[in-house]
Chain A
Amino acid sequence: MVDVSSTQPLSRPEALPDRQSDDLRDVAGAHRPIPKGKVLLWVVVLLFAADFARAVATNDNFGWPVVAEFFFNTTVLEGLWVTIWLAVVSMILGVMLGLPLAIARMSNDPLAKSISGLFVWFFRGTPLLVQLILWYNLSFLFPQISLSIPFGPSLAAWNANDLITPITAAIIGLALNEAAYMAEIIRGGLLSVERGQRETAEAFGMKPMRALWRVVIPQAMRSIVPPSGNQFISMIKATSLVSVIAMADLLYSVQSIYNRNFEVIPLLMVAVIWYLLIVSVLSAIQSRIERYYARGDQQRVVFDAPETVTTQEEAPL
């Protein structure tokens, strides 16, 4: 029998010689049993998922052959293209307008502040669908649209009916609505940057706009990008609303097809799959952009190497 020393009260008398049992205690070689409950949960969930997948795949009402037939249909692809460019153009315009709105809202100038506030209040406060229909029917409000000096002579005039087509109504409606939301997202981002950063930039002689562009906005992007990605994804889906003003987007295109062949569900499935595909691509792009703007924050990944820790003590000058 092995002598049990008082310093190792936990080793049992039958244990192997001490050094070997210490090796066995090395946690690097530990065995980790899988919890039974977790295994059970996995099995149950996967069973349900497989059953659901089978139900979807074998349910003839989904009409998968019809889905396949129309997936690359010219009308569908044209609608898809309209959806994508409409979303992209509206988003770009929205950001371009949202940025100055955000800056105006944060400025000390009461005029800029209240104009921006009023804009956001109106375009965030009314449903997008209502805004789209209003823009589309603008000619009822202002039959004649003219460029003029306030209270003065008119410089140029257009007939509202010529100016407002489904395309212009859709772009104006989506972009202005988007600008209101983007203004708030950008304002939140700008507020998240420490005050000292802007102050430092100005202390070094940067003009306010340069300080904003070089120092504040790049840091604000970290908190602007995630909600903007979110916003762009809702924009992709919001474009489906333009089908009410006869703009041939993805939804409108599949509707026009199923109105003829009555394959409602399969064609909606075509739209659903396309929307999901676009959104998946967008999410991937978004995470790349997020990684780019997180570049100053990567200490754990890049610089935790031991040699950089020791250099802290080096003599300056």
Chain B
Amino acid sequence: MTATTAQAPILRARNVHKAFGNNEVLKGIDMDIAPSEVVAILGPSGSGKSTLLRCINRLEEINKGFIEVDGEQIGYKLQGDRLVALSSGAIARQRSKMGMVFQSFNLFPHMTVLQNVIEAPVGVHGVKRREAIELATDLIAKVGLADKLNAYPRQLSGGQQQRVAIARALAVKPKILLFDEPTSALDPELVGEVLETMRGLAKQGLTMIVVTHEIGFAREAADRVIFMDGGHIVEQGKPEDILVNPQRERTREFLRRVL
């Protein structure tokens, strides 16, 4: 079931399969995401949720099925009735529509906070440097780090680094924001500031797919919760249904363990 909306989905995934050698990680995922929808993907480790996210921006190549973002198939192009693999340049252009926040932040350590945030807008999207700096300064202020513009990532705490990473993802004005366990590498006392930032974004109407272990965030901020296990979507629906009254035994068991 998808969120009931009249708009065309911004992301469509159909029968997505992904295997690493003999290890099949995704076993047929179907998923639609509506514009402005906030989707939290929950599931035990090894359930394939991070892999699904990485397949969406083609950090991993899928083996079967297809993924479409904003009406364009990721990694391929239909020419007549032939499906042709795209060049790395064309894939780069498709990726530039998405922003990604990683579990381990992955800020560029040799660049300052400001340089990190303007790198993709200037280098990939061709935004004028002055405009990029203006937008970046604004975004960095929004994540509460206005005084850290010229700091290097290693001079920041984990929570601050992740907030910069969020600003960096926002700076490309993405159609979809992908979060890959954004709080899993943080000390417990720093999780709150990052979740707070993400809640703010959810309210602004950004399309977000959040792979997370934070049940609280899923409950408060997500429009829909998807529960994955063993490479399948086990069940999905409104957070109040899935988290309070799950239908499947596997979901219940997972929630018992994490709550």
Contact = CB atoms under 8 A, between A and B. Distances in A.
B92 A312 contact: no
Interface stretch (A19-27, A71-79, A198-206): A198-206
A192 to B, nearest CB: 12
Most B C-beta atoms less than 10 A away, residue of A219, A295, A296, A314: A296
Interface in A120-143: none
A315 B196 contact: yes
B155 A308 contact: yes
Contacts of A202: 59, 92, 95
A202 B200 CA distance: 27
Contacts of A10: none
A308 B147 CA distance: 9
Most B C-beta atoms less than 10 A away, residue of A200, A293, A295: A200
Interface string A163-197: 00000000000000000000000000000000011
A111 B119 CA distance: 33
Most B C-beta atoms less than 10 A away, residue of A202, A298, A315: A202
Contacts, number: 103
How many residues of B sit at the interface, in one of the four size bands? 35 or more
A297 B155 CA distance: 8
Interface stretch (A34-42, A208-216, A252-260): A208-216
Nearest 4 A-B pairs (CB), nearest first? Answer: A205-B96, A303-B155, A316-B144, A200-B106
A205 B110 contact: no
Interface string B143-170: 1100110011111010110010000100
A206 B154 contact: no
Interface in B97-126: 97-100, 102, 104, 106, 108-111, 119-120, 123-125
Interface string A293-314: 1011111001100001001101
Interface of A: 196-197, 199-208, 210, 214-215, 218-219, 293, 295-299, 302-303, 308, 311-312, 314-317
Contacts of B190: 312
B96 A204 contact: yes
Report whether over half of chain A's contact residues are helix, strand or loop; otherwise say mixed: helix
A200 B148 CA distance: 22
A207 B196 contact: no
Most B C-beta atoms less than 10 A away, residue of A311, A314, A315, A316: A316
A293 B59 contact: no
Contacts of B64: none
A258 B124 CA distance: 61
Given A215-B108, A296-B111, A317 B143 contact: yes
Contact of A315 (B104, B108, B120, B144): B144
A197 B108 contact: yes
Given A302-B155, A315-B196, A316-B194, A204 B108 contact: no
B68 interface: no
Contact of A207 (B89, B125, B153, B197): B89
Nearest to B141: A317
